[in-house]
Structure 1
Amino acid sequence: MKSYILIIVFLVSSLGFAQDMNTFFSKADSFFETNVSNGKVAYSKIHAKQDALNELLSLAKGIKVSESDSKTYQAFWINAYNLSVIKGIIDNYPTNSPLDNDGFFDKTKYSLAGKEVTLNTIENKLLRAKFKDARFHFVLVCGAIGCPPLINKAYLPDTLEAQLEAQTIKALNGSFLKVNVKKKRVAGSEILKWYKEDFVQNGSEIDFINRYRKEKIPNNYKLTYFTYNWTLNKQ
């Protein structure tokens, strides 16, 4: 009899966690749709009414997520990162750049999924170190214009692969690269320099770029980097 009770308790508990996760994704999707347009965030509007953001982060605090369900895990932490960046900006608003706030990435902690984590912890330990996927750099948005654009929807387990591909293609065919045919050079975002190890796992940086570029970069082109724009990505 006790075993049946334990099974029922486990099933009810599991169902509760699943419902919490579904609620988180649904509310995150609504939040991004309401507050993000063309990659820019309505910080002023969010700052004036913070209930939706605080509710989302409160929900995220109690969620349980496992690496064994890798797509749900990755989608949760990508959204949690992007929401925490917005929270960090709102807590210091008005501000001109995330870098204007000491410890923005490496000291300020957020309570998420039963952990106390910084933004750097999410990016480097919970995502990059575990999955070795360079495409994370095109969906984790640091609150600056130089970052990849924030989409106006949540990253979801069922659509995550397509979303990772789409954002990587968009970045590497857009503002992340500046090609100079005459000088046989390509200037890339400093993200390509800072995280070089992620982009050379299966070849050179240009090999990685060409997997997503419509107009391929010749292998004899010199790769340089242009200065990152840390200005706030505000509407």
Structure 2
Amino acid sequence: MKRTILISLLVVCASYCHGISLEKFFLDTDRFLQTYVTDGEVDYKKIRKQTAEIQQLYQDIGKISLENKSRDEIKAFYLNAYNIIVIHETLFNKKHKKLLKSGKFFKEVRHNINGQDLTLEKLERKYLLLKFRDPRIYFYLGHSTRGKSQFQEFAISPQKIQEQLESLSIRG
């Protein structure tokens, strides 16, 4: 009996310790964005009725391991994580409007991303812009010439990342 319990605990720990599947994260993020984003606008009212999805995605961002992942998988993860964090914080951080006005939303609010304690600014600069040196990332993160952030209705996929970023930079 003790042996069965020990084996069960080891199986549960092994699945938790290995984190969340990156492929599952991409699929869940894609499904979430297709459900709640239309024409670049997030339907926050609809999300508020079903907060479990965004809460789970936000938690998964901290558990995902990028060890032995390709450059495109890592880039796609960070881009998707960035948008999920912005949506999550807009919903659950009661001070988000005040923080946005003061610039602290991106510079001071910390998040668990891939097991690291990071701000959105650090994620953007160090883990996306400096690491990948891809100017199309600016368009994905909402730095377009339209003057306002627009969310994509899909998750960035490692298999399609080049064409997805290219189409976004053309639209921007």
Fold agreement, TM-score > 0.5:
yes
Distance 1:134 1:147 in 2: 18
Distance 2:129 2:66 in 1: 17
Structure showing greater Rg: 1
Q: What is the aligned partner in structure 1 of residue 156 from structure 2? A: 155
The Cα offsets for residues 81-135 of structure 1, whole Å up to 9 and x where unpaired, read as 0110111111235976862476210010111111111110110010111111111
Q: Is the 8 A contact 2:22 2:64 kept in 1?
A: yes
The Cα offsets for residues 41-76 of structure 1, whole Å up to 9 and x where unpaired, read as 011222333110011111221111148611000000
1:104 counterpart SS class: helix
Q: What is the aligned partner in structure 1 of residue 80 from structure 2? A: 79
Report the number of matched residues.
155
Distance 1:147 1:109 in 2: 23
Taking the TM superposition and a 5 Å limit, the aligned residue runs for 1:147-226 are: 147-171=148-172
Compared CA separation, residues 138 and 43, structure 1 to 2 (3 A): same
Compared CA separation, residues 105 and 74, structure 1 to 2 (3 A): same
Q: Is the 8 A contact 1:138 1:148 kept in 2?
A: no
Between structures 1 and 2, the one with greater helix share:
2
Compared CA separation, residues 124 and 117, structure 1 to 2 (3 A): same
Q: Which amino acid aligns with 2:128?
A: L
Q: What is the aligned partner in structure 2 of residue 56 from structure 1? A: 57
The alpha carbon displacement at 1:147 in A equals 3.6
Q: Which amino acid aligns with 1:130?
A: K
Cα RMSD between the aligned structures?
2.5
Q: What is the aligned partner in structure 1 of residue 23 from structure 2? A: 22
2:65 counterpart SS class: coil
Compared CA separation, residues 102 and 135, structure 1 to 2 (3 A): closer
The alignment status of 1:138 with 2:119, answered yes or no, reads no
2:112 counterpart SS class: strand
Distance 2:22 2:54 in 1: 16
In structure 2, runs of 5+ residues without a counterpart are: 1-13
Distance 2:41 2:95 in 1: 15
What TM-score results when the alignment is normalised by the length of structure 1? 0.59
Q: Is the 8 A contact 1:71 1:160 kept in 2?
A: yes
